[in-house]
A and B are shown apart, each in its own frame.
Chain A
Amino acid sequence: MRVLFINNDGGGFADHIEVPDGTTVAVLFAQRLPGRKPADYLIRVNRQPVEAEQALRDGDRISMTPSKIEGAARAA
């Protein structure tokens, strides 16, 4: 099935991807953000908060945004 995946980590990524039927939010997270903790991310499916074990459906819009990002200061 085809879903829109938005990864706001790093440089940002937003594109349609193919995932197997029955893929859950947790599985997609582990595949796309390996080694990261879901608790450190704001995860939305179709703009709504969801459970980790929720199965994705064709056409879903999934976004994952880090909740802690390092800012900076421009050098003088």
Chain B
Amino acid sequence: MPPLKPGWLRLARRLQAAHEQRVAAPRRPLRDPWMEASTRFDQLTALRRQIGKAEARGWRLAMLRLCQRLPGSIRAVELVLNNAKQQCQPVVPQPPPLREWLAELHQVEDDFGAITIDAARLFLAVATDPIVLEKTSLGAFSLRLHWPRIADGREADCFEIVALDEGRASAANPNVPHPHVRDGHLCAGDATAAMQRAIGEGRLFDAFALIRSVLENYNPHSAFVTLADWLGFSCDSCGCRLDPDDRCACDRCGRDVCGECTSRCECCGVCECETCQGRCGVCEAHWCARRLVASARSSLRCCPNCLRTCSACGAEVASSELDEGAKQCEDCRAATGAEDDIHETHPMHEGEDE
């Protein structure tokens, strides 16, 4: 074995001690993973129900957006079931001997470069190379293993991911330096179970390698902030910058807009942007464009509540275009007025033909 670096022997002993405490600790109850699995499955069921409703109502764009969330929701169910399966393991691996911990440290250093040991904050750290995902440069990251958390059995929370390069975090959320990292916590997705197992068995290098594999890959279906929104989200209508949580989508055209630029149809509840939405030309209420009807006598579009029927010709016109007294449209009123003029100019006497 290569010569030991300063502090490595002490570090290896601390890692071994943390692992021994973990083995000696009572096993956590299985209740939490099963409850979380039930919750995730309920969320998946609700999502499928929403997709069905959108499809039945012909809201194609809304349905497409909901379908895009489906893989992430299914994956969430898979993850919690994998976690539950892990906790069902009947055997807890024995802590590796000291020489294995030292071998792990050597392997980590060979692959990642220098290991930093922070004796005050109780973590060991390595750095990745600069990471670029789909032409978005995220910089390098420090992967920090907080070894006391191994003793607590908190394999999923042992690692802290810290960006090393300033100014690369998402403009939409500064706490997200990487699409799958928020507030220092990596959501390892498909690597979760393998990573937990690696930590539980003292395979440090494997755990670090798995984290790096997640950081060097991009899953657009399940990201804290997608790369499309990395530089921030802009409303397509007014151009203002917003957090992804404040963003709405037009149910008609699918454009991303802010809450100020959307309105909900009072009849059917569809959310529309300013471009797609209609407004009654009489009462000025917001209605989805399909429900507005053009007046037969002008270009005015109005809601069903403001449509009236001319008592003379039967045409449907806006209420503002109907004479309140005669209940006639403008054309019919004009025609009636012309006939009255004719009768005044040339009054008919009894027995005369017209």
Q: Which 3 A-B pairs have the closest CB atoms?
A: A71-B180, A72-B189, A12-B194
Interface residues on B, range: 35 or more
- Asked if B252 is at the interface (CB within 8 A of a chain A CB), the reply is no
- A72 — which chain B residues lie within 8 A by C-beta? 72, 75-76, 79, 180, 187-190, 219, 222
- Asked if B140 is at the interface (CB within 8 A of a chain A CB), the reply is no
**Which residues of B line the A interface, CB within 8 A?**
40, 43, 72-73, 75-76, 79, 82, 85-86, 103, 106-107, 110, 179-180, 182, 186-191, 193-198, 201, 203, 205-206, 209-210, 213-217, 219, 222-224
Which residues in window 40-76 of A have CB below 8 A to B?
Answer: 42, 44, 47, 63, 65-75
6 additional contacts, CB 8 Å, given A12-B195, A12-B198, A65-B213?
A: A12-B196, A71-B179, A71-B191, A71-B214, A71-B223, A72-B76
Contact between chains at A69 and B197 (CB < 8 Å)? no
Count residues of A near B (Cβ-Cβ below 8 Å): 22
- A23 — which chain B residues lie within 8 A by C-beta? none
- B180 — which chain A residues lie within 8 A by C-beta? 71-73
- A66 — which chain B residues lie within 8 A by C-beta? 191, 210, 213
| A62 shortest CB reach to chain B, Å | 12
- A14 — which chain B residues lie within 8 A by C-beta? 197, 201, 203
- Asked if A6 is at the interface (CB within 8 A of a chain B CB), the reply is yes
Main SS at interface, chain A: loop
| Cross-chain contact of B182 among A42, A63, A73 (Cβ < 8 A) | A73
Contact between chains at A71 and B43 (CB < 8 Å)? no
Contact between chains at B206 and A63 (CB < 8 Å)? yes
- Asked if A35 is at the interface (CB within 8 A of a chain B CB), the reply is no
- B182 — which chain A residues lie within 8 A by C-beta? 73
Rounded to whole angstroms, the CA-CA distance of A11 and B194 in the bound complex is 5
Contacts known (A8-B210, A11-B86, A47-B107); A69 close to B203, Cβ less than 8 A: no
Rounded to whole angstroms, the CA-CA distance of A23 and B146 in the bound complex is 39
| A58 shortest CB reach to chain B, Å | 19
| B331 shortest CB reach to chain A, Å | 57
Contact between chains at B82 and A11 (CB < 8 Å)? yes
